[in-house]
A and B are shown apart, each in its own frame.
Chain A
Amino acid sequence: MINTLKVTATSAIELTPKQAEIIVNAVEKKNTHGTKIELSQVVDPSVIAGIKITIGSEQIDATVITKLEKLQTQLRENI
């Protein structure tokens, strides 16, 4: 039985094949189990820009919308 590691990349516009390859390669480097990586892409304009990558139950969120939200909470805390 071959386990596959599900990776989701969410971005505002569709990724180019080159960009997708970079992501798969980067995840492969971190993935020590040698399982197959299955990349699915989600296009969601509400993230504005940037990318959100979900690997299993881990998430790296580098979208503009999240950054704005973080900024909002930090501004609220300081004012």
Chain B
Amino acid sequence: MKKTANKKLNFSIAEIINNSDLSADIQTIGIVKAYGDGVVKVSGLDDVRAGELIDLGNNQFGLALNLEKEETGIVVLGDALHLKAGATVKKTGEILSINVSDSILGRTVDVLGRVLDGRANVPIGKQMLLEKKAPGIMPRQSVSQPLHTGLKAIDALVPIGRGQRELIIGDRSTGKTAVALGTILNQADQDVVCVYVCIGQKRSSLAQTIDILTKNNAMDYTVIVSATASVSAAEQFLAPYAGQAVAEYFLEKGKDVLIIFDDLTKHAQAYREISLLLKRPSGREAYPGDVFYLHSRLLERSCKLNDANGGGSITALPIIETQDNDVSAFIPTNVISITDGQIYLESDLFNAGMKPAINVGLSVSRVGGAAQVKATKQVAGTMKLDLAQFRELQAFAQFSSDLDEKTKAQLDRGERVNAILKQGWDTPLKFEEEVVVIYAAVKGHLDSINVDDIQKWEALYLEFIKNSYSHILKSIVTEKKLLDETEKELIEAIKTFNSMNPKLSLEVEE
């Protein structure tokens, strides 16, 4: 029994040995002159191309970044502790690329496409170049289709369209990643492929993220490209490009892709580290001169293609972490100017219990309005203005206790509209649900409800609508707008619901 098993094994090894390619070919080599801080200085290496992959031996690779007359500067991907002065490195002739195939969905890979989740390798598919020119002007189309985040505050006030680049900016722990993850969760039945790029984060955070996505069955349509804080700066620098290459693979298939860069501040810092070690001249905040181009060439690759080119799209949600709410620092201003708008999260709002902590006044979406569903537009049209007025009045009302009836009513309304925007990031709503909830708030049907009970009211109300008035939701989905008769029915539904739940209402004061 054992003997036959051995025989079989021996045979297959013999076959591999016979088929293996051991021929000696001409290779271009370089001699290591110095190695330190992840940068190798090499002499020789004739005809090396910029961005070429260099074989450092021991199954480690480097990236040729600085080409000079006498020597080449190579950054190490991974670690190359085996290198000694005088060691030889080889040219591979390959420009950096990542292997992508359909079965990459649900996997966690590093920048070179090596799997990190302990499962089998990703089957050979297509080699996607990490650095690629963004699509030109002709194949593009303007943003026309919404990408629902499932968060009322974003979908109503700063709508995101497919192909848009919307920055998520805020201090540490203001719920930036939560907004991005909530958006991934909401893409479950939207036929959108999600790519989550993790740059310079703690491994524990990434493990948590993967855990959340797996538990919510979101990994089925998600790819994670990981460069955690413990990998080399070179890998962190390449991670967003690798993510974009994965996204482009699905774009070529005409799919809609959502890509999240978490976060680009760490990316810029990794690039600064490499640049300083390569002795490139530094500028403001010690960033090199091309740090703007670093992000612009990355985010330019997000696009909405026209039907002749497959009609796919890449929607990018880059994340930037600010220090002490300073949006005028170098990297934040750079990325704000590249993107088509930003979602500004504030720690004060977050601490006040406003979640998501979106500052409505400072958040904008420059192109998403065109993509917003008409029904949402109908109900959220004046909401931004109302909320702005409410904030102004609120500040004013702090000084006087005696308010006229009109101001008081406006304040009450504002408070309720504000409260209705509160939402857990892991409970995304469908857009038709958002429409019926926001409608109730902006049309004053919540004025009689206790502010503290709004969340409870919302949950019960949605349940009630789904059970008894589901045709309203269906009508909104099919018509994409609120028809007059649907509106009448909705008013009736809200009134019936409010009369059924008198407990939630304010006690009438005399």
Contact = CB atoms under 8 A, between A and B. Distances in A.
Interface stretch (B14-22, B150-158, B390-398, B418-426): B14-22
B25 interface: yes
Nearest to B90: A59
A74 B16 contact: yes
Given A56-B46, A57-B46, A59-B88, A74 B21 contact: yes
B27 A61 contact: yes
B16 A78 contact: yes
A72 to B, nearest CB: 10
A70 B46 contact: no
Nearest to A68: B22
Contacts of B17: 71, 75
Interface in B35-51: 44-46
Nearest to A51: B24
A62 interface: yes
Chain A interface residue bracket vs B:
10 to 19
A66 B24 contact: yes
A3 to B, nearest CB: 15
Nearest to B15: A78
A54 B45 CA distance: 12
Among A54, A59, A70, chain B packs the most CB atoms within 10 A around the CB of A59
A35 to B, nearest CB: 15
Interface in A44-69: 54, 56-62, 66-67
B309 interface: no
A1 to B, nearest CB: 18
Interface residues of B, number: 19
A75 B15 CA distance: 10
A57 B44 contact: yes
B257 interface: no
A26 B24 CA distance: 16
Contacts of B29: 54, 57-59
Interface string A10-47: 00000000000000000000000000000000000000
A22 to B, nearest CB: 16
A26 to B, nearest CB: 13
A71 B20 CA distance: 7
A33 B392 CA distance: 81
B21 to A, nearest CB: 7
B28 interface: yes
Given A57-B45, A59-B27, A70 B88 contact: no
Contact of B30 (A57, A60, A66, A71): A57
Contacts of A61: 24, 27
A78 B20 CA distance: 10
A57 B28 CA distance: 6
A15 B439 CA distance: 91
A60 B25 CA distance: 6
Contacts of B20: 70-71, 74-75
Nearest to A76: B59
Among A56, A57, A58, A62, chain B packs the most CB atoms within 10 A around the CB of A57
Given A57-B29, A78-B16, A71 B22 contact: yes
Interface of A: 54, 56-62, 66-67, 70-71, 73-75, 78-79
25 contacts: A57-B28, A57-B29, A57-B30, A57-B45, A58-B28, A58-B29, A59-B26, A59-B27, A59-B28, A60-B25, A60-B27, A61-B24, A62-B24, A66-B24, A70-B20, A71-B17, A71-B20, A71-B22, A73-B59, A75-B13, A75-B16, A75-B17, A75-B20, A78-B16, A79-B13
The 6 A-B pairs at the shortest CB distance, nearest first, are namely A57-B44, A62-B24, A74-B20, A67-B22, A59-B29, A57-B46
Interface of B: 13, 16-17, 20-22, 24-30, 44-46, 59, 88, 90
